[in-house]
Structure formats: structure tokens, C-alpha cells
Amino acid sequence: MVAALNAAYARLKTNAKRLNDTLQYSCQWGSTPDGGMNRLSGNDDDQKVRDWFVAEVTRYGCSHQVDAMGNIFAIRPGQNNTLPPIALGSHLDTQPTGGRYDGILGVLCALEVLRVIHEANITTYAPLAIVNWTNEEGARFSPAMLGSGVWAGEFSTEYGHSRVSSEGTTMGQELQRIGYLGSTPCSYQANPLLAHFEVHIEQGPILDVAEKPVGVVKGAQAIRWYRLAVRGREAHTGSTPMDRRSDALLAAAKMIVEVNKIATTAPLSTRGARGTIAVINSGPQSINTIAGQVTMNLDIRSPFDQDIEEIEKLCKQGFEAIGEEHGTSLEMECIWTSPATNFHPLMVECVRQSAKSIDCHHEIISGAGHDSVYTSRKVPTAMIFARCRDGISHNPAEYSRPEDCAAAGEVLLGAYLRYDEHIRQQNESKTEE
Amino acid sequence: MVAALNAAYARLKTNAKRLNDTLQYSCQWGSTPDGGMNRLSGNDDDQKVRDWFVAEVTRYGCSHQVDAMGNIFAIRPGQNNTLPPIALGSHLDTQPTGGRYDGILGVLCALEVLRVIHEANITTYAPLAIVNWTNEEGARFSPAMLGSGVWAGEFSTEYGHSRVSSEGTTMGQELQRIGYLGSTPCSYQANPLLAHFEVHIEQGPILDVAEKPVGVVKGAQAIRWYRLAVRGREAHTGSTPMDRRSDALLAAAKMIVEVNKIATTAPLSTRGARGTIAVINSGPQSINTIAGQVTMNLDIRSPFDQDIEEIEKLCKQGFEAIGEEHGTSLEMECIWTSPATNFHPLMVECVRQSAKSIDCHHEIISGAGHDSVYTSRKVPTAMIFARCRDGISHNPAEYSRPEDCAAAGEVLLGAYLRYDEHIRQQNESKTEE
């Protein structure tokens, strides 16, 4: 049972124009001529937007801490400061050819909630934290969701610092260079949160098709990533008959088609399976030499852990048959795995109640990984999706209408205040006992 | 009708051990630890092997000329020096991960013929030229067969000089740097040849399967190269449903499979069609972003010009259907074309008669481009193939047995002497008239 919204809060509203104006303002750091963003984790633009973020939260009465992974926690005290804060967080870094909403909208919605509460002179029960997680994208330093992953104990801080970019610099060096290698331990134990809410653009077309501005996210898909290395035999394209080849790129092409077939065949397809190969490199890259080696990355997802196992099994079977046909060998290595996530039922209900009050929502499962997937392993977590046009993301054309952004912020405000009320009631009933 | 071999020449033999030892010796410049070669056109090792080649032909009584494309013509005078020389040529440059025989064997067989004739104190009727053509591979400076192409008037000298390597240096600069930017015009008119014979490894498995050491090459396949650019839509791999994607890499994979299907389906396949995509690049190369753009190179070949047209037509039809299925667009640009080549019938017959005398041959069509394809457009030309193990080429594992190399050299010697005799008889009958 979710606590009813405190009557004092019922009149609170987010400011759609302010939210959108601030978001666009913050995109001056890292914007690209095509309207997109290239604000890679730890680069100069990341430093500038962080400096702006810290100045902004300070202006609204927050102190802040930077942890050893550069995660920034802006803290606004509550009535009961013996409790850890309820966090509203996301990330300010982007893909190299990214858009203006992925991650950024979540931090900016949290900032808008802070502004509304500050201006209404409200002191919430638990302290509030606005969080910017470091390197969610994993585009410059692999893996993705590194800052939240270290905080949740998935990776060690040493591992996080040692990640290397393609230019040869490490995450730790770059945090030091931009002044965000903080002294607070990066740990859910040493620097705890009471809960974590996150607004994020959907990055898919489901809300657009359903014509709903906001998604109540019940959980996140299971994800598994693989490195595939196909080996054939280099040979001359002109003088090698078609039936005497071991063409690694032809075998790889059939594997790409096979993955697509598996993910689009019922019953896996009707349960939301996804299978994609998006990264490929072949050698020796000579127009008249049959490719002898190909490396690829495979990304498979499903809302159900058992379906992930099934997809993997079918891929392996299909790949083996292709290898036999073409005389190619295959190395297949799982490089990352994330089980299916179910968000915290009471927090999800807070999101749902808040969304219902403005009649705008659709229930959804996240297809993407998010910082909330890691936080949910340690603290109650829920997410709110904002509709994005045509489902386009990781692309300069990524776009969410200002009113959809505002609706997501409005739902965040209501969900957060409901959950804070729930915490108050829970603690007061304990005190009475 | 081919002239009978002059009786004085019947006892001449190439020296298998000397040929092989010299070939291996010449591979000290540019050899790689895996037994292969990396002697890119115009690099320091190319300079060293050229210096050695010039010293060697000088030792056997030749003068030499270097033309404006760095092609080296080592000339041994004949009885009638009003005639242009009969050339025996190939190339000393290699692929970056190449072997010890592609091109090199042809120059070394020519050198062995020179040695045999020199040691037997024979003065042939026409002068003899041993030719090293510059940048046959096109691996460092595109396109391939650049030196012979400029000589044959396919490209201008200025075009040849202006070719740029990936390091940013030009062919002309590198020829100057290594001392092989010669003063002789690079032109079949200003620096003519009477004919051109070339020994080359087969670079395919046909002789190996037929268990014949030598191929009598009747002609060369038509070749056409294309640049393909596929555009889809970048989107998130997790949150984009399978049926709402425009996946450029999936479409490209289906195109790779389609090309293979076209080239392996009768009747094109039974007439020797080849179709290969060996070069692929996709963007944005992010594991969780569906590829929005893919570039590839397509290589199609056939012994018959009309089949090339048919393959191109079927590819375009197939690619269009794939584009419609996936909502992707395609640019397809022909970047190089070479019609089917028929070598000079009388020279081919000289090769055949010479091969018959040692009972070792198989008739063959070249699947690869060669300097002889360009020379044949201006002067009578023929080729001799040497068997290579498993048909492997453009690979450090490329290998031709010393006895197969020697057989090819032996056939070259006999074919050359027969053609020289033919020229003598032709000229003497003219004189008598």
C-alpha cells in the first residue's frame, strides 16, 4: 500500500519551460554541429558540465560529495538526517554520436525536482540526493554503467580506475585531470542511499506507438554480450573457386542473419527477445583477399533469464552449422552478463500512482541497461521513461518533446514525494512502537 | 604455326636449385617472422631488392633503364637490335601479409632464363628485357598494376605519381626517395616491347587439384570492383523492437550472402563466376547501437564479359530487395573494371609447346589481375602459371615447391626461345621478300 500524497504537496508542479531551457543550456558542452552530443566520460566537456552541475545544486542549497569514481552526490538535508538520502539520479555523459536526452534528461529532471522543492520551502522527511553517475555509456571507457557498478560493488574501484580509452588514458587519470577523483569511497556501504529513482528516455518506440508520454518501468531485460572471433583462410578472390573457400566474412554474415532469425522467431520473439550484432571488424581488409578473420560483438536480451539461455543455445547451434559449412572456426566468449531486473514493487507503485494522477502512462520493461539496474541490486529502485520520437536514441536525431520531458519530471516529483511520505510513516510507526 | 625450337637450344635447362636459392636469397629484404613477406612498393626493402636486381642483371651483361614509374627494364642485346626487346617480367613488391612467390617468382624465373642464355653464350634474335613492374599489388598505393598500367597508357604518369599511401606519402615521392624515379618515359610508345611473357603462381587451387605443376594461361577473367555504402538507422539494441529496425549491418550481411548465392548458382557458377565481399566497415561501432552505416567492397569476376553484366544485374536486384525489406538505402559505385583478356594465340601456343615437351601442363584462365593484363592491351602477351600449394596466396603460407618453380622457369625458357625463333623467321622472310 502506497502512502497518499501529503496534501501540502498536491499543488507542486514542475516547470516545463525551465526544465527544457536548462537541459538545452547544459548541452552547450559537447554539442555537435548536427544537433547531437559528443560528451565522452572524463573529457573537457564532461568537466565543464560537472562544474556547472555543482554550481547549480549549490545555488539550490545542496552540499555535494564526489566519490572515488567521480560520481557526484548533491545532498539536500531532510527532517531526519540519520537516514541516507533518497536519490534521483542518472548520467551526464553521452555516446560519441549521441543525443541530448539519454541520461541528461534524468539528471535535469532531478534538478527540476530540487528546484520545485527548494522554491516551495519544503523540507522532505529523508534527505534528498541528486546524483550524476560517471561513465554510464561505456563509450570511451568500457564497460558501461561503470560508476554505478563500482558503487554497487559489481566492480572494484581499482578496476574502475584502470579502464583504458582508445587514446591510452585511464578512467582514473582522466578523473584526476578534470578534478573529479573524489575522496568519498565509491561504495553503497560507505556512502549509502535509501532508494534510487531515475528518469530516462525510453530509447525505443513503444511509448511512441502507444501514444503515451511516460512509461512506468517494471524492470529491465536480461542482457548478455559476447565477443565472437571467426577464422577462415585468406585466399585470392579471383583465383580461388567458390567451392574451395573458407570465407570468414561470409560465415560471419550468415551468423548475423542467424541471430536475427532466432530473435524474430516465435515464441522467443513474442516474449520480447532481442539479438543484434552491431560491431564487426574483418582482416586483412584487402579487396582481393578473402577475409581470413572477423571479430564481432553479439548483444542478446530478453525480459526473461531462461529465454537468454535459450537464445544463447540456439546461437551456438546455428553458428556451429555455419562453421561446418564454411570450414571456419569460432571463439565465442561471454564478456558481460546482467540478469533480468525487477524494480522495487512499492517504488514502482509510487511511480504508477504519480503517473495516474496525470493520466499519461504505459507499463514497460526496459530494454537497455541503466545505472538503476546496478542500484537496484543494493537499494530499492524504480525508473520512469519519457517517450522519445520514433524510438531513436544513440543518434544526433534523438528527441523528446518538452511536454514529454516535463511529464516525466512531474511523475518523478510525485513518485519521490510519495515514497518520502512512505518512509516517514514507516519510521514514525517504528518510533511509536 | 609455331616455329620449331632451334636445335642449338634443345639442351638448355634451367637450374632448379639456383632458381630457388636465388628466390629465397632475394626474400631477405622484406621477410616477416612467419615466413611471409611485407615488401610494399617504394619502401626501404623494395629499394634494397631493386638494387640487388640491378646488380644481378648487370653481372649477366645487361644494361638497364628505369622509367618514370620506377619500372626497371634490364636489356640484353640480340642479333637484331632494331627490334624492341621481348620482355620477361613480373613484380618484386608484395602484399603487407604476403608470401614469397606472388610476383617474385616471375622476376626470378626471368633472371634464371637470362643466366641460362648468358652461360650458353647464346645471342637471341631479338633483344631480351627482364622487367620489374612497379606496384603490382596496389597494397600501399591504390590501384593495383600501376606501373604496367601507366606503361600501357591506362593511367597517366601524373596520376601514377600522385597516388597516396595511408601514411600520406605519394608514389612519386617514394620513387624519388629510393632512387627509382627514372628518366625513361613510362610508355609503350616511347619505350616499346615486342612481346611480354610472365610466369606467376596460380594463386588458386586448380593446378593443385589437377596435379599439374604448370598452367598454360589462355586469358584472364573480367573483373569489376564496387564500393557499396549501406545506410540504415542507428538505434539502441536493447530498447528497439526487432520489427522496428533499419539495421545496416543486417542488410549488409544479407548482401554478402546474396553475392555468394549468385556466384555459386548455375549456370554462372559452372562458367567460373566469382563474387566476394572481403572489406567491410560499420559505424558507429558501439556494441549497443544498431549499425547505421556500412561500407563494403564488392569484387566480381568471370571469364566472360557478358556474365559480368549478368552478375552485376543480379546483385543490384538482390540488393534492392534487401533494402526494401530493411528500409536501408544503398549507394553502389563501380570503382574499377577490367574486361576479359585473351592472350596472344601464337604466344600461348609457344607456351603450350614448351610445356608439352616436359608433359606438365593444364589449360587455365587467370582469376587474378596481372601486369600481363595491361601489357596484352598493347603488345602480344602470354602467361605461365606455377602450381601453389592449396591455392593459398596473399598469405605468409603461400608456397610453391622448388620443382614446380623450376618447371615454370623451364616452360618460360622454351616458350621465349620459340617465340624469338618465330620473330627471326618472320623478319627473315620479310627481308627475303
Which residue type sits at A97? Answer: T
B239–A368 CB contact, under 8 Å:
yes
B260–A247 CB contact, under 8 Å:
yes
**B330 is written with which cell numbers?**
544503398
**A114 is written with which cell numbers?**
530540487
Residue of A nearest to B222 (CA): A238
To test the contact with chain A by mutation, choose from B261, B287, B338, B389 the residue with the greatest count of A C-beta atoms within 10 A, namely B287
Which residue type sits at A165? Answer: S
Task: Render pLDDT for A305-319 as a digit per residue (tens, 0 to 9).
Answer: 999 999 999 999 999
A273–B242 CB contact, under 8 Å:
yes
Question: Mean of the pLDDT values across residues B39-57?
Answer: 98
**B241 is written with which cell numbers?**
523492437
A391–B235 CB contact, under 8 Å:
yes
Contact present, A352 and A385 (Cβ < 8 Å): no
A288–B368 CB contact, under 8 Å:
yes
The mean predicted confidence, pLDDT, of chain A is: 95
List Cβ neighbours of B144 (8 Å cut-off, separation of 6 or more).
Answer: A288, B135, B136, B137, B138, B369
Task: Render pLDDT for A152-206 as a digit per residue (tens, 0 to 9).
Answer: 999 999 999 999 998 999 999 999 999 999 999 999 999 999 999 999 999 989 9
The answer, for B91 touching chain A at a CB cutoff of 8 Å, is no
Contacts of A243 in chain B (CB under 8 A): 264
Residue B296 to residues B103, B277, B309, B339, Cα–Cα distance (Å):
27, 7, 20, 22
Contacts of B225 in chain A (CB under 8 A): 287
Residue of B nearest to A368 (CA): B238
Contacts of B264 in chain A (CB under 8 A): 242-243
Q: Give the span between the Cα atoms of B75 and B91, in whole angstroms.
A: 16
Task: Render pLDDT for A7-42 as a digit per residue (tens, 0 to 9).
Answer: 778 789 999 999 999 999 999 999 999 999 999 999
Which 241-260 residues of chain B touch chain A by CB within 8 A? 241-244, 247, 249-250, 252-254, 256-257, 260
B394–A236 CB contact, under 8 Å:
yes
The answer, for B86 touching chain A at a CB cutoff of 8 Å, is no
Give the pLDDT band of residue A286 (cuts 50, 70, 90).
confident
Task: Render pLDDT for A34-73 as a digit per residue (tens, 0 to 9).
Answer: 999 999 999 999 999 999 999 999 999 999 999 999 999 9
What domains lie within chain A, and their CATH numbers?
7-221+340-432 (3.40.630.10), 222-338 (3.30.70.360)
So what's the ipTM on this one?
0.85
Write the residue in A240, A254, A286 that is nearest to B205 by C-beta. A240
A97–B238 CB contact, under 8 Å:
no
pLDDT for position A9: 83
Contact present, A198 and A130 (Cβ < 8 Å): no
pLDDT for position B392: 87
Question: Mean of the pLDDT values across residues B70-91?
Answer: 98
Contacts of A268 in chain B (CB under 8 A): none
Contacts of B368 in chain A (CB under 8 A): 236, 238-239, 288
B280–A235 CB contact, under 8 Å:
no
A239–B287 CB contact, under 8 Å:
no
B278–A276 CB contact, under 8 Å:
no
Mapped onto helix, strand or coil, the DSSP state of residue A219 is strand
Contact present, B203 and B220 (Cβ < 8 Å): no
Residue B127 has pLDDT above 70, yes or no: yes
DSSP letter at A299 equals E
SS3 percent helix, strand, coil of chain A, rounded to 5, is 40, 20, 40
Contacts of A249 in chain B (CB under 8 A): 256, 277-278, 280
Contacts of A144 in chain B (CB under 8 A): 288
To test the contact with chain A by mutation, choose from B141, B145, B208, B234 the residue with the greatest count of A C-beta atoms within 10 A, namely B234
Question: Mean of the pLDDT values across residues B159-185?
Answer: 96
Q: Give the span between the Cα atoms of B311 and B221, in whole angstroms.
A: 13
The answer, for A235 touching chain B at a CB cutoff of 8 Å, is yes
Question: Mean of the pLDDT values across residues B352-368?
Answer: 90
Q: Which residues is B216 bridged to in the sheet?
A: B363, B384
The answer, for A206 touching chain B at a CB cutoff of 8 Å, is yes
Shortest distance, CA B422 to any CA of chain A (angstroms): 32
Residue of A nearest to B255 (CA): A253
Residue of B nearest to A280 (CA): B282
Element housing A130 (H / E): strand A128-132
Q: Give the span between the Cα atoms of B164 and A304, in whole angstroms.
A: 53
Residue B371 has pLDDT above 80, yes or no: yes
Question: Mean of the pLDDT values across residues B359-373?
Answer: 91
Residue A1 has pLDDT above 70, yes or no: no
The answer, for A225 touching chain B at a CB cutoff of 8 Å, is yes
Write the residue in B236, B284, B391 that is nearest to A204 by C-beta. B236
Residue A225 has pLDDT above 80, yes or no: yes
Give the pLDDT band of residue A433 (cuts 50, 70, 90).
low
Residue A359 has pLDDT above 80, yes or no: no
pLDDT for position B375: 98
A287–B297 CB contact, under 8 Å:
yes
Say what percent of chain B tops pLDDT 90.
Answer: 88
Give the pLDDT band of residue B419 (cuts 50, 70, 90).
very high
Question: Mean of the pLDDT values across residues B374-383?
Answer: 98
Q: Give the span between the Cα atoms of A47 and A180, in whole angstroms.
A: 8
Contact present, B239 and A301 (Cβ < 8 Å): no
Contact present, A414 and A5 (Cβ < 8 Å): yes
Give the pLDDT band of residue B358 (cuts 50, 70, 90).
confident
Write the residue in B242, B297, B301 that is nearest to A263 by C-beta. B242
Across A304-417, the runs of DSSP E, i.e. the strands, are 329-338, 341-342, 361-366, 381-386
Task: Render pLDDT for A72-129 as a digit per residue (tens, 0 to 9).
Answer: 999 999 999 999 999 999 999 999 989 999 999 999 999 999 999 999 999 999 999 9
Contacts of B334 in chain A (CB under 8 A): none
**A64 is written with which cell numbers?**
555535494
Q: Give the span between the Cα atoms of B37 and A424, in whole angstroms.
A: 75
Which 261-320 residues of chain A touch chain B by CB within 8 A? 263-264, 269, 272-280, 282, 284-292, 297, 299, 301
pLDDT for position B9: 83
Contacts of A237 in chain B (CB under 8 A): 274, 276, 278, 299, 301, 367
A297–B287 CB contact, under 8 Å:
yes
A289–B95 CB contact, under 8 Å:
yes
B235–A392 CB contact, under 8 Å:
yes
